[in-house]
């Protein structure tokens, strides 16, 4: 069903039919991948802006399709959300990230591990008990796990979302508001949320270094975060010019290709060990 010029008459085109068949095939393949345990996590470091030491590793989902190669989470996560697969996948992500965190701790690495949560997961009553069970099983302190929740999900100011945030806070988890700047935060809602960090969306970072306007926006976010006693993380840092502006503005943590791309858990352990700052 397509919307044309605001009118809501539905029509079907051959192209659309192909599209739908492709979607159905992709969904079927995703179901199989989930059942066979073919999804993987890669990890991207966040570094301390002052000394560039690793502070956290964000877990990011990867799906290696046997024929199509790597399929982006931007494609398969919305699909999983539409078809009721996201909760199962999300539970696995939490379990696997905790298992990995425990292994890293045994190797002497004590950084936080961050997982992305879908809005659908927040609506599950057993989300926090599941997280707590995983933490307990792998002996990870709650504050070592960051849950990244996008601003648009976080700002959905319903009783349900508020209750979910309250349970996350009570459990002692580290909450990060992801993709900050893309939603419609009100200062009032932001103040009420028990978050520990704001993660500025890549769109704002991209223009840093050559745009005075982008710089002002990031500066305003950093100042507001300070007032609210939140840490600020910048995502998508790709150039030394962007890094220098962010450090100058007092951003706390940095993440992006300039430092490291997402990589396997093994590669990350080596990277953390031998890292040379750019
Ligand atoms: P996100 O949480 O905002 O993650 C950041 C995305 O930017 C990642 O893409 C990362 O690989 C990419 N990135 C990191 N640094 C740079 C950089 O310097 N330049 C550029 N151009 N890109 C950079 P990825 O891994 O494809 O993930 C895309 C999105 O998929 C994530 O955005 C997140 O919303 C979602 N996602 C990934 N894994 C999960 C998951 O386990 N659960 C849920 N619910 N969503 C996930
Ligand atoms: Ca994220
Ligand atoms: Ca993000
Ligand atoms: Ca983003």
Report the pLDDT value the prediction gives residue 194, as an integer from 0 to 100. 85
Please check the confidence at residue 1 and state whether its pLDDT lies above 80: no
| Ligand 4 geometric centre to CA of 235 (Å) | 7
Please check the confidence at residue 8 and state whether its pLDDT lies above 60: no
Give the percent of the chain with pLDDT over 70: 92
Residue 21 C-beta-side C-alpha neighbours within 13 Å: 7
pTM for the full model?
Answer: 0.92
Please check the confidence at residue 142 and state whether its pLDDT lies above 90: yes
Report the pLDDT value the prediction gives residue 4, as an integer from 0 to 100. 47
| Ligand 3 geometric centre to CA of 251 (Å) | 15
β-bridge mates for residue 233, sequence order: 199, 253
Nearest atom in ligand 1 to 61's CA: 38
Angle between helix 265-274 and helix 86-106 axes, rounded to 10 deg:
40
63-95 per-position pLDDT tens digit: 998 888 999 999 999 999 999 999 999 999 999
233-244 per-position pLDDT tens digit: 999 999 999 999
Query: With 0-12 CB in 10 A as exposed, 13-18 as middle and 19+ as buried, what is 136?
Result: exposed
Please check the confidence at residue 205 and state whether its pLDDT lies above 80: yes
**DSSP annotation of 8:** -
157-201 per-position pLDDT tens digit: 788 888 898 899 999 999 999 999 888 787 888 888 889 999 999
Distance CA 4, CA 247 (A): 46
Asked if 181 contacts 175 with a C-beta cutoff of 8 angstroms, the reply is no
Give the percent of the chain with pLDDT over 90: 74
Distance CA 82, CA 65 (A): 20
Please check the confidence at residue 2 and state whether its pLDDT lies above 80: no
Asked if 42 contacts 70 with a C-beta cutoff of 8 angstroms, the reply is no
Phi and psi at residue 222, to the nearest 5°: -60, -40
| Ligand 1 geometric centre to CA of 231 (Å) | 20
Report the pLDDT value the prediction gives residue 193, as an integer from 0 to 100. 85
Asked if 161 contacts 154 with a C-beta cutoff of 8 angstroms, the reply is yes
Q: Tell me the average pLDDT of the chain.
A: 91
Distance CA 101, CA 108 (A): 10
Q: Return the residue whose CA atom lies nearest to atom 45 of ligand 1.
A: 116
| Ligand 1 geometric centre to CA of 74 (Å) | 8
Report the pLDDT value the prediction gives residue 12, as an integer from 0 to 100. 61
Nearest atom in ligand 1 to 118's CA: 44
Distance CA 235, CA 180 (A): 10
Please check the confidence at residue 49 and state whether its pLDDT lies above 70: yes
Q: How far is CA 212 from the centre of its chain?
A: 27
Distance CA 278, CA 273 (A): 15
Q: What is the ipTM of this complex?
A: 0.98
Nearest atom in ligand 1 to 115's CA: 41
Distance CA 69, CA 65 (A): 5
Among 70, 96, 116, residue to substitute to test ligand 1 (most atoms within 8 Å of Cβ): 116
User: Where does the pLDDT of residue 5 fall: very low under 50, low under 70, confident under 90, or very high at 90 and above?
Assistant: very low
| Ligand 3 geometric centre to CA of 199 (Å) | 7
Q: How many residues does the chain have?
A: 278
In 127-171, the DSSP E strands lie at 145-150
Selected residue with higher pLDDT from 182 and 202: 202
Q: What 3 state SS string does 218-240 have?
A: HHHHHHHHHHCCCEEEECCCCCH
Report the pLDDT value the prediction gives residue 82, as an integer from 0 to 100. 94
Ligand nearest to the CA of 43: 1
């Amino acid at each position: 069903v397509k919307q044309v010029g605001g009118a809501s008459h539905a029509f079907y085109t051959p192209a659309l039919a192909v599209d739908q068949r492709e979607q159905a095939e992709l969904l079927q393949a995703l179901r199989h991948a989930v059942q066979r345990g073919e999804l993987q996590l890669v990890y991207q470091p966040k570094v301390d802006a002052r000394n560039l030491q690793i502070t956290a590793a964000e877990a990011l989902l990867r799906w290696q399709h046997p024929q199509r190669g790597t399929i982006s989470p931007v494609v398969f996560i919305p699909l999983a959300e539409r078809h009721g697969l996201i909760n199962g996948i999300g539970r696995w992500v939490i379990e696997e990230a905790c298992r990995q965190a425990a292994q890293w701790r045994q190797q002497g690495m004590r950084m936080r591990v961050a997982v992305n949560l879908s809005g659908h997961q927040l609506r599950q009553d057993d989300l926090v008990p599941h997280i707590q069970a995983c933490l307990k099983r792998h002996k990870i302190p709650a504050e070592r796990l960051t849950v990244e929740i996008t601003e648009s999900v976080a700002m959905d100011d319903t009783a349900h979302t508020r209750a979910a945030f309250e349970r996350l806070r009570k459990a002692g988890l580290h909450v990060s508001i992801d993709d900050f700047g893309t939603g419609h935060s009100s200062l009032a809602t932001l103040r009420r949320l028990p978050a520990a960090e704001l993660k500025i969306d890549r769109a704002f970072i991209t223009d840093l270094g050559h745009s005075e306007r982008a710089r002002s926006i990031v500066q305003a976010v950093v100042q507001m975060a300070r007032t609210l006693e939140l840490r600020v993380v910048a995502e998508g840092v790709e150039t030394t010019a962007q890094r220098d502006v962010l450090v100058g503005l007092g951003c706390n943590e940095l993440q992006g290709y300039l430092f490291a791309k997402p990589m396997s858990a093994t590669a990350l352990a080596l990277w953390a060990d031998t890292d040379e700052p750019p």
